[in-house]
């Protein structure tokens, strides 16, 4: 079990790869279960690949709807033609939560039955108890909270929340120059938020001997730096609504539908290692905005497992497939993507 990085900041995407060896003897209902810790949010299952290049099990693997923090991939029954134990690699992507701290540890186990018990489950909650469960594997990701980086000791990292930062510089002789390097993280403004110029001023106070309290700041050593925050990037937005299958009348809007917006990178193709994904969910009014996007081609995909009950994907106003559409976004463009339309099904057929 491995991750593409050993440290990540809140909001970063982490790719976790797990390779398991399938038991040759009596391997039925094989399922890889990944337990994500608090602070690591499931985004999607990227790939399921057998070491033979062909499916290791009968039928195609099924990505299961997670249950709590447990993510599952149902692999199924081992093909009888294998006399050796093939390996399966499952790659998932998760997001470091905004409030995550410390070290995040994800674990994975392979579970299977000695006799065929399951047909093709759709969710982790349908699995029940297995006959056999492997020893868990694990991977750790340290949360690296973006912070001030300095070449001197930090005396007060704005602990008083008064907008000041105190640093202790090494001893500097008259005529010498001391360079302090620090980095500030400027939060990405929300779409439509007014942004302007951020300024920071530096002042230096000296003490005549080590351990003495510095005196008043000397005006001759003051400096300032101005950071111009640019306007937010482009915005993709849309809405998921439900229409009556009988007469096309709008009957409501779908909340909680997960939307994955993927920047396709310079090659304009999904995959290849240069994609960037952002996931969100529709609000109570069915709306989903994703902002601060760079220009380029994007794939917008709706997670069918999060659609409300008694609805099916019906159509898409961009003339694309109902659940996935590719769109182009220009610099700083706000594109109100045409809504995904679901057909509401009633017991009467309408």
Query: Between 203 and 340, where is the model more confident?
Result: 340
CB within 8 A of 137, min separation 6: which ones?
A: 1, 18, 107, 108, 109
The pLDDT score that the predictor gives to residue 101 is: 85
For 315-342, write each residue's pLDDT tens digit: 775 555 678 888 888 877 777 765 688 8
Extract the tokens encoding 145: 């909270």
Cβ atoms of residues 218 and 206 within 8 Å: yes
Average pLDDT of every residue of the chain: 76
CB within 8 A of 143, min separation 6: which ones?
A: 7, 8, 9, 10, 39, 96, 100, 101, 102, 103, 104
Decide if pLDDT at 313 tops 80: yes
For 31-48, write each residue's pLDDT tens digit: 999 999 999 999 988 888
For 225-238, write each residue's pLDDT tens digit: 444 444 457 888 88
Decide if pLDDT at 97 tops 60: yes
For 263-282, write each residue's pLDDT tens digit: 888 878 887 777 888 899 99
Decide if pLDDT at 108 tops 90: yes
Q: Is the pTM of the predicted complex or chain greater than 0.85?
A: no
Position 71 confidence tier, pLDDT thresholds 50, 70, 90: very high
What domains can be seen in the chain, in order of their start residue?
2-143 (2.60.40.740), 235-344 (2.60.40.10)
CB within 8 A of 226, min separation 6: which ones?
A: 197, 198, 199
Decide if pLDDT at 256 tops 90: yes
Strand 324-329 relative to strand 296-302, pairing: antiparallel
- Say what percent of the chain tops pLDDT 70: 65
Return phi, psi of residue 278, to 5°.
-130, 130
C-alpha 13: how far from its chain's center? 4
Q: Which residue in 85, 59, 71, 81 sits closest to 1, CA to CA? A: 71
Residue 256: how many CB atoms within 10 A of its CB?
Answer: 13
CA pseudo-torsion sign 76, 77, 82, 84? positive
């Amino acid at each position: 079990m491995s991750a593409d990085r050993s440290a990540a900041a809140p909001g970063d995407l982490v790719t976790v790869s797990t390779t398991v060896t399938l038991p040759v003897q009596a391997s039925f209902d094989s399922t890889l279960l990944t337990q994500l810790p608090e602070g690591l949010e499931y985004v999607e299952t990227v790939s399921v690949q057998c070491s033979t290049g062909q499916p290791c099990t009968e039928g195609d693997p099924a990505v299961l709807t997670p249950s709590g923090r447990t993510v599952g991939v149902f692999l199924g029954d081992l093909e009888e033609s294998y006399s050796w134990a093939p390996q399966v690699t499952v790659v998932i992507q998760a997001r470091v939560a905004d409030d995550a701290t410390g070290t995040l540890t994800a674990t994975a186990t392979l579970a299977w039955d000695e006799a065929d018990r399951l047909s093709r489950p759709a969710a982790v909650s349908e699995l029940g108890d297995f006959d056999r469960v492997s020893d868990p594997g694990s991977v750790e990701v340290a949360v690296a909270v973006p912070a001030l980086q300095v070449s001197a000791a930090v005396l007060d990292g704005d602990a008083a929340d008064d907008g000041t930062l105190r640093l202790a510089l090494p001893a500097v002789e008259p005529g010498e120059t001391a360079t302090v390097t620090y980095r500030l993280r400027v939060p990405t403004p929300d779409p439509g938020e007014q942004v302007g110029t951020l300024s920071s001023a530096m002042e230096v106070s000296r003490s005549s001997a080590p351990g003495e309290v510095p005196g008043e700041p000397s005006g001759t050593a003051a400096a300032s730096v101005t950071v111009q925050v640019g306007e937010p990037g482009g915005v993709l937005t849309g809405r998921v609504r439900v229409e009556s299958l009988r007469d096309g009348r709008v009957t409501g809007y779908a909340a909680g539908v997960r939307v994955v917006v993927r920047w396709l990178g310079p090659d304009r193709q999904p995959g290849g290692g240069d994609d960037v994904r952002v996931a969100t969910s529709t609000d109570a009014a069915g709306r989903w905005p994703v902002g601060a996007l760079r220009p380029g081609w994007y794939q917008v995909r709706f997670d069918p497992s999060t659609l409300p009950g008694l609805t099916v994907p019906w159509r898409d106003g961009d003339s694309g497939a109902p659940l996935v559409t590719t769109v182009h976004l220009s610099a700083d463009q706000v594109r109100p993507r045409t809504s995904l339309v679901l057909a509401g099904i009633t017991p009467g057929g309408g």
